[in-house]
Amino acid sequence: MAAVKFRGFDSRTGLARWGLAAVAIGIVVGGTAPAAARGLVNVVETNPDGLVWLFERLFAWLAYIAMAGSVVYGLLLSTKLLDAIAHRPISFSLHQDLAAFGLGLAGIHGMLLGLDHTVPFTVAQVLVPGMAPHAPVAVAFGQVALYLAAAVTASFYLRKRIGQRAWRTFHYVTFLAFAGATIHGVAAGSDSNAPWAEGVYLASAAIVLFLLTYRIAMSRAARAAAPARTISIRDGAPLRRNPAA
Give the separation between CA 7 and CA 5, rounded to whole angstroms: 6
Of 202, 167, 214, nearest to 68 by C-alpha is 202
Give the separation between CA 191 and CA 208, rounded to whole angstroms: 22
Give the separation between CA 211 and CA 72, rounded to whole angstroms: 8
Q: What is the pLDDT of residue 13?
A: 64
Q: What is the pLDDT of residue 69?
A: 92
Q: How far is CA 213 from the centre of its chain?
A: 16
Strand runs labelled E in the chain: 230-232, 238-240
Q: What is the pLDDT of residue 213?
A: 93
Q: Which residues of 195-232 are buried (b: 16+ CB within 10 A; e: fewer)?
A: eebeebbeebeebbeebbeebeeeeeeeeeeeeeeeee
Q: What is the pLDDT of residue 39?
A: 67
Name residue 177's amino acid: A
The pTM for the full model equals: 0.79
Write 149-153 long-range contacts (CB < 8 A, 24+).
Answer: 149/67, 149/99, 149/102, 149/103, 149/106, 149/174, 149/177, 149/181, 150/103, 152/99, 152/177, 153/96, 153/99, 153/100, 153/103
Q: What is the pLDDT of residue 10?
A: 61
**pLDDT 10s digit of each residue in the chain, 245 long?**
455 555 556 666 667 766 777 787 788 777 766 776 776 677 666 766 678 888 888 899 999 999 999 999 889 888 877 777 777 777 788 888 999 999 999 999 999 988 887 788 899 999 999 999 988 999 999 999 999 999 999 999 898 888 888 988 998 999 999 999 999 999 987 777 788 888 899 999 999 999 999 988 988 888 887 765 444 444 555 545 554 44
3-state SS class at 238: strand
Name residue 194's amino acid: A
Burial of 193 (0-12, 13-18, 19+ CB in 10 A): exposed
Of 64, 95, 57, nearest to 182 by C-alpha is 64
Q: Which residues of 9-21 are buried (b: 16+ CB within 10 A; e: fewer)?
A: eeeeeeeeeeeee
Q: What is the pLDDT of residue 206?
A: 95
